[in-house]
Amino acid sequence: MRKPKTAYITSRFDLIYGPIEQAAIAERVELLAPPQTPETVADLPDWLGQVEVILSGWGAPVLDDAFLAACPQLEAFFYGAGSVRAFVTDAFWETGIQLSSAWAANAVPVAEYAHAAILLSLKRFWAFSQAVRQDRAYPHKEAFRVAGAYRSTVGLCSLGMIGRMMAERLARHDLRVIANDPYVDQVTGANLGVEMVSLETLFAQADVVSLHTPWLPETVGLITGELVASMKPNATLINTSRGAVVDEEAMLDVLAARPDLWAVLDVVWPEPPSPESRLFDLPNVILTPHIAGSMGAECHRMGQYMIEELDRYLAGEPLRWELTREKAAIMA
């Protein structure tokens, strides 16, 4: 099998490509240089002219006119992370170079986080935990209305890769799952085991709402204060998508007025929030610092996905996770 001339260019090389992944890649390609970063190739070294394949990840080089001119042999760019917006340019899309991203691999831990948060929310884990710590005693369970994970309703906002993973996971439980996605019809929703509803119905009926909406110009502020205010008593809002899809100030106004509601926020905007933000003050807000995505050894899954894509490339097969300009435009 042909071994393409290849380079690693990423600021997070060891995090994404562990020893197992590095050994597997070394068997398949001819590495032209030790692992590089955007800074070490800023002067566009001559060996870039031979590169046919680049393996990258977080901290990728910007694929602008100058970089692309220095890589006239480049055929494929494998990005071992999620969103490509930070480094892909209009000039790149005009080249025809294949681009694949490990966005599907990064979706797995996000779905796992959201799945866990949904089940804990249905038990009102957050309220019980706070009450025990505050009162230094066990509260009467009857003091908290608990929906539980039986015949309660979970709402999924958007059914992209992560939303569909969520539908699959939630199908294992005795739950009613409803969803809103302007690109998904009732038949497709039924095949996923969910009932498609309006955004207003989703917020009004769900015991837990989980957001999986990409950050696009049309989704900024999509989740309004009115939607949050319409949630059932003791409901929970979970956001593992992007903070900008929520009208944060309006949400905080509602949460301040409705202490029965809870918000579990792994993402906010701006990120991190200002130290003066009310996010730190409201007792019914649970903040985690954008940890739902790949961390630790989970990152090696993204490297493994790129090895599998490399194998497809070498075999002349279609790439499973290839991105086009159109597809990249609607991703987070």
Which ranges of the chain would DSSP assign to H, the alpha helix? Answer: 13-16, 19-28, 65-70, 90-93, 103-122, 125-135, 161-170, 186-191, 199-205, 225-229, 248-257, 298-314, 325-329
- Report the percent of the chain where pLDDT is more than 70: 99
Kindly calculate the radius of gyration of the chain based on its CA atoms and give it in whole angstroms: 22
Q: Of 35-39, 80-84, 299-303, which range is least confident?
A: 80-84
Q: Of 42-46, 94-98, 129-133, 148-152, which range is least confident?
A: 129-133
**How crowded is residue 132: how many other Cβ atoms within 10 Å of its Cβ?**
12
CB-neighbour burial class of residue 143 (10 A; exposed 0-12, middle 13-18, buried 19+): exposed
Asked if the bond preceding 217 is cis, omega within 30° of 0, the reply is no
Name 27's Cβ contacts closer than 8 Å, sequence gap at least 6: none
Question: What's the pTM value of the predicted model, to 2 decimals?
Answer: 0.92
Q: State residue 332's pLDDT score.
A: 66
Asked if the bond preceding 270 is cis, omega within 30° of 0, the reply is yes
| Average pLDDT taken over every residue of the chain | 96
Q: State residue 139's pLDDT score.
A: 84
* 89-144 confidence digits (pLDDT tens): 999 999 999 999 999 999 999 999 999 999 999 999 999 999 999 989 998 777 77
* Mean pLDDT computed over 144-153: 93
**Distance from C-alpha of 97 to C-alpha of 307, rounded to nearest angstrom:** 18
Place of tokens 């003791």: 234
Which architecture does CATH list for 107-287?
A: 3-Layer(aba) Sandwich (3.40)
The domain covering 5-101+296-329 belongs, at the CATH homologous superfamily level, to NAD(P)-binding Rossmann-like Domain (3.40.50.720)
Question: Tokens representing 195?
Answer: 């009932």
**Distance from C-alpha of 167 to C-alpha of 321, rounded to nearest angstrom:** 21
* 84-103 confidence digits (pLDDT tens): 999 999 999 999 999 999 99
Residue 233 · residue 257 · CB < 8 Å: no
**How crowded is residue 219: how many other Cβ atoms within 10 Å of its Cβ?**
20
How distant, in Å, are the alpha carbons of 2, 33, 83, 311 from that of 17?
Answer: 22, 16, 18, 16
In this structure, is the dihedral angle defined by the CA atoms of residues 217, 222, 225 and 226, taken in order, positive or negative?
positive
**139: DSSP letter:** P
**CA angle, 58 as apex, 247 and 31 as ends, to 5°?**
165
CB-neighbour burial class of residue 278 (10 A; exposed 0-12, middle 13-18, buried 19+): middle
Question: Tokens representing 182?
Answer: 């302007």
- Report the percent of the chain where pLDDT is more than 90: 93
Q: State residue 144's pLDDT score.
A: 77
* 244-292 confidence digits (pLDDT tens): 999 999 999 999 999 999 999 999 999 999 999 999 999 999 999 999 9
**Distance from C-alpha of 93 to C-alpha of 75, rounded to nearest angstrom:** 12
Name 204's Cβ contacts closer than 8 Å, sequence gap at least 6: 230, 231, 232
Place of tokens 């996905």: 305
Can 5-101+296-329 and 107-287 be said to share one CATH topology? yes
* Mean pLDDT computed over 29-39: 97
Question: Tokens representing 123?
Answer: 């038990």
Helix (H, G, I), strand (E, B) or coil at 301: helix
